[in-house]
Structure 1
């Protein structure tokens, strides 16, 4: 495992980040990753050299379960070995029915949530604290001032921004500059080989400002692993896969463009004696304009080992260009969603 600077910061992270949104998550009557499985996955991630762990206060059922699992595991490890990231924005259900100030990015909610996150993780500080979404109801100056104070207090090292529009990210960076606030150094957009043009403006801002990019769903919810096929106009995958458990899967991840990109990824994988998942992740890691660290959320240690295999392959310029070009038809039209 190699390590690189997280964007323009001085903190070094592994080429992959381990995502924990499945920890304690109930889907119907099933817990996707229970406590023992979570600890086994964290053991495997650390054994493979992954030092970057991503979570959020609302991950797990009930909310906070993911952070609790990580905190319990960290009791047997040296906290300083790891780069921990969590998030704030959504209502937290640990207190029952959300009140008027139990969501968003207002000072009251942010300060209450950081305390709960630190307590569940069993740590005094976070390496990265993301705003999980943009809050239209709170002035961005209030949010940035609050986050800036958390950095000054030593509770947070770096600030991150998850899903938002390019103009919102630009506005936040400008407000930080003119007000002397700590700025966002890390971003977490939806970004994968079949979904690059859709966030091109956002990624241009990240490249220009030297922001770290840590894509979530880098395998398009598992679609780019190659385990799904088209049969009679339907998407068919293994039993228990995301397509079986998530009603949004087809609308969110499956597209005309995606099938063309997947075909090319499969071809490159065969050339490299690799898997489609490894090629898809490597395509992200090798982004030339960006510091890119994909967040992988394996359900088993075998899946995690496969994902880590992305760090051992290398794409040629010609192979990367073929994957890029697969998004477009011969006449230059970009395939639709």
Structure 2
């Protein structure tokens, strides 16, 4: 495994982060990743040298179950060997019906949620704490103030921001600088080779401010693994049990004309470097030069995780990188 510095921090993380959003997640009445499978996957992460684990208070059915799975697993491992990220924003239904202060980024909700997260994970601190979304109803100054308090109390090491508009990220950074508050060091937008331009302005801010980028859905919901086929009418033929077979909006969201062009180029590059499309896609992200990029992979089995980890050993030439970039740009 390769390791890199997490943006403008002093912490080293594996070049891949493992995402746990499938832990205890129910789809069609079936749990995608149960406790035993979750612990097997975390074992595989440890064996492959992945030390960066991503979760959220709202992951799992009921909410909080993903954090509980990780906390149970950590009991048999050295907490200091891992960099753990979690998030706050959404209502937490583990406590029953949501009240007026049971969501968002106000002081009351953040204070309640950090305590629950720490308890479920069985730890005294979170390495990285993301705001899961922007809260239009709470002044960003209040949010950054309470997050700053958590850092200075030692409950959180670094702050992160997930999906939002570029101007909102800029506003948050400006507020932190003007008010002398802690600022975001890490971001988590949806970025992959087929869907990059949608967050281009956001990534410009990350590059300018030396923020680490930890993309979710780096394989475009599995589209960039090459397991989907294009039908004669322009639709998507999806394997049983895949996200494409479970989500009606999959084709419109991921299988665009440009995405098929990008996938074709990635498959060609993969043949040249003896790597799978998934490995090439992940390596392309890791090779971003403007900012440190640590993709979040959500492998559903140890075998899938092993394939993902193989991306670390892939080498793309400048010409191959630029060909993928050109397909992404439609040129």
Q: Under a length normalisation based on structure 1, what TM-score does the superposition of the two structures give?
A: 0.97
SS of the aligned residue for 1:117 comes to helix
Match of 1:264 in 2: 265
Match of 1:106 in 2: 106
Give the gaps of 5 or more residues in structure 2.
Answer: none
SS of the aligned residue for 1:40 comes to helix
More displaced stretch, 232-241 vs 37-46:
232-241
Match of 1:291 in 2: 292
Superposed structure 1 runs of 4+ greater than 3 Å apart? none
Q: How far apart are the structure 2 equivalents of 1:251 and 1:107?
A: 38
How far did 1:140 drift?
0.2
Q: How far apart are the structure 1 equivalents of 2:329 and 2:164?
A: 26
Q: How far apart are the structure 2 equivalents of 1:270 and 1:228?
A: 18
Q: How far apart are the structure 2 equivalents of 1:145 and 1:329?
A: 43
Q: How far apart are the structure 2 equivalents of 1:323 and 1:4?
A: 23
What does residue range 52-67 of structure 1 map to in structure 2 within 5 Å? 52-67=52-67
Match of 1:246 in 2: 247
Match of 1:304 in 2: 305
How far did 1:327 drift?
2.5
How far did 1:246 drift?
2.2
Q: How far apart are the structure 2 equivalents of 1:195 and 1:168?
A: 21
Q: Is the 8 A contact 2:258 2:330 kept in 1?
A: no
SS of the aligned residue for 1:185 comes to strand
SS of the aligned residue for 1:158 comes to strand
SS of the aligned residue for 1:222 comes to helix
Match of 1:236 in 2: 237
Q: How far apart are the structure 1 equivalents of 2:184 and 2:214?
A: 13
How far did 1:264 drift?
0.1
SS of the aligned residue for 2:328 comes to coil
How far did 1:254 drift?
1.7
How far did 1:194 drift?
1.1
SS of the aligned residue for 1:326 comes to helix
How far did 1:251 drift?
2.3
Match of 1:115 in 2: 115
What does residue range 130-145 of structure 1 map to in structure 2 within 5 Å? 130-145=130-145
Aligned length: 330
Match of 1:149 in 2: 149
Match of 1:88 in 2: 88
Give the gaps of 5 or more residues in structure 1.
Answer: 331-337
Q: How far apart are the structure 1 equivalents of 2:118 and 2:200?
A: 34
How far did 1:232 drift?
2.8
Q: How far apart are the structure 2 equivalents of 1:294 and 1:247?
A: 25
| CA offset digits 1:159-184 (Å, max 9, x no partner) | 00000010000000000000000000
Match of 1:214 in 2: 214
Match of 2:171 in 1: 171
Q: Under a length normalisation based on structure 2, what TM-score does the superposition of the two structures give?
A: 0.98
SS of the aligned residue for 1:327 comes to helix
